[in-house]
Amino acid sequence: MRILHVVRQFWPSTGGMEQFVLELCKELFKAGHQSEILTLNRLFSNRSQTLAAQEVLQQSWGTLKIHRISAPGMTSLFWPRFGDFDFMAYDLIHYHCVDAMLPFLLPKIGLKPLVVTTHGGWFHTDRMLFLKNMLFVGVLPHYLKRAQKIAACSVADYLRFSPLFPNTELLPNGINWQGFECERQSINPYCLVHVAANRPSKRIDLLLSRFLELKQKYPQAELHLIGGGNWPGHIHPSLLNQAGLTVHGEVPHEQLKNLLVGAGFVVSASRYEGFGLAVAEAMAAGCIPILQDNEAYRAFVMDIPNQGRTGRLIDYSVPSSLLAAFEDLLTTQNLLEISHLCRKLTQVFDWEKVGKLYSDLYLKAT
């Protein structure tokens, strides 16, 4: 099957959804499918740079052809110029996320089978949330009813999309857990790690306030903030200047793995997640999660019969909530055993399994 993946921006180093698309193409290639990418010719993180209209990525598993088109406009509202791009050359269109490109795409693809992966929709921030909810209920069904299948990549997305779209199926995100696997012999509980770009929805200011409370009682505690974004941005500088805090920015894979392997806990105060890839990767490296209680994170923190809970869900807006969860884990459970349990849990999201699920979904859609 020849599949066209349509995604707003694609550059392998940008991570997140783009990395998901790349890993999915790899698994589809192994299953005998041919994948190509249609994307915009610019990255929203660097609008002044124009990317090549055509490119062939050489990967260890094969080649991946990328087609790029122009799209005047802003990050959230833009007008893609498809020109004479030949959509009829493909057996199936796989559209990633829900954004401004969808209304322009549908008239171009005719009756071609369409699969959409949610990737959190557009609910990653509270900005214009009322309008987003109105569009989701009032406008989006007009477009998404055209899709043969909708793949919800988290429980949170499934609960949001399935009431409106009965053709929604829960297909968990994939992670390359082997790339973070390690054999831990011990756990340093006083080392915490957070991996995410500095966006308002991540509520890093709340996380830093809770860490300050933890640090006051346990002076040896340290927190590593990893990820891009505007620092300090909306965060008060005093929270970023506290002892025990290290801000790394974006780091290469090997450095990220070393930081995760050295940490005992992965923490996040994020209000909303489409899946929570960074947390899953940290758990694959053996980190125990202490996470904000949201729909996506509940898939990572659960009670495994006869083995214990894989972490804690808390409300980071409550003072001392991180401290209480930290002390609870420190005193009631064998941290090394829980670390091993977290690693096992992430194997549910193995890319080989996820790739097979998508191959099956394509067959249902055609």
Q: What is the pLDDT of residues 133-169, one digit of tens each?
A: 777 777 888 888 899 999 998 887 888 889 989 999 9
335 and 357 together in one domain: no
Mark whether 55 and 108 lie in a shared domain. yes
Q: Rounded to whole angstroms, how far apart are CA atoms 248 and 257?
A: 13
pLDDT single digits (tens) 203-236: 999 999 999 999 999 999 999 999 887 777 778 8
* Residue 356 to residue 265: CA distance in whole angstroms: 31
- In this structure, the answer to whether residues 157 and 10 fall within a common structural domain is yes
146, with CB counted inside 10 A (0-12, 13-18, 19+), is middle
Is residue 100 located within the same domain as residue 119?
yes
Calpha distance 334→300 (Å, rounded): 18
State the angle between helix axes of 335-346 and 321-332 in degrees (0 to 180), rounded to the nearest 10.
110
Comparing C-alpha atoms, which of 224, 190, 184 is closest to residue 204?
224
What pLDDT is attached to residue 124? 60
**Global pTM?**
0.78
Q: Are residues 314 and 344 in the same domain?
A: yes
The reported pLDDT for the residue numbered 123 is 65
3-state helix, strand, coil in the chain (%, to 5): 35, 20, 40
What secondary structure letter does DSSP report for 309? E
204 and 158 in a common domain: no
Domain count, the chain: 2
Strands 191-195 and 168-170, bridge-based pairing: unpaired
| Same structural domain, 120 and 217 | no
Identify residue 278 by its one-letter amino acid code: A
Structure tokens at 163: 């009431």
Q: For residue 171, give the amino acid letter.
A: L
Residue 125: per-residue pLDDT = 60
Residue (of 28, 267, 276, 281) closest to 153 by Cα position: 276
- Whether residue 140 contacts residue 98, with contact meaning beta carbons closer than 8 Å, is answered with yes
Contacts of 76 (CB under 8 A, 6+ apart): 99, 100, 122
Phi-psi region of 306 (alpha: psi -120 to 50; beta: other; left: phi over 0): left
CATH number at residue 332: 3.40.50.2000
Contact yes or no for 119/96 (Cβ under 8 A): yes
Burial of 288 (0-12, 13-18, 19+ CB in 10 A): buried
One domain for residues 161 and 51 = yes
pLDDT tens-digit profile, the chain (366 residues): 999 999 988 876 555 778 889 999 999 999 999 999 999 998 766 767 888 999 999 999 999 999 999 988 877 678 899 999 999 999 999 999 888 788 899 999 999 999 999 887 766 666 666 777 777 777 888 888 899 999 998 887 888 889 989 999 999 888 888 888 888 889 999 999 999 988 888 999 999 999 999 999 999 999 999 988 777 777 888 898 899 999 998 888 899 999 999 999 999 999 888 788 899 999 999 999 999 999 889 989 988 777 778 999 999 999 999 999 999 999 987 999 999 999 988 888 889 999 999 999 999 999
pLDDT of the residue at 238: 86
Determine the structural domain holding residue 56 and report its residue range: 2-174+350-365
What span, in angstroms and rounded, lies between the C-alpha atoms of 108 and 104?
7
Asked if residue 106 and residue 23 are part of one domain, the reply reads: yes
> Based on C-alpha coordinates, what's the Rg of the chain?
21
Together in a domain, 14 and 37: yes
Neighbours of 35 (CB within 10 A): 22
329 and 354 in one domain?
no
What pLDDT, on the 0 to 100 scale, is given for residue 322?
Answer: 98
Indicate if 167 and 188 belong to the same structural domain: no
- The string of DSSP letters for 56-96 reads EEEETTEEEEEEEE---B-SSSB----TT--GGG-SEEEEE
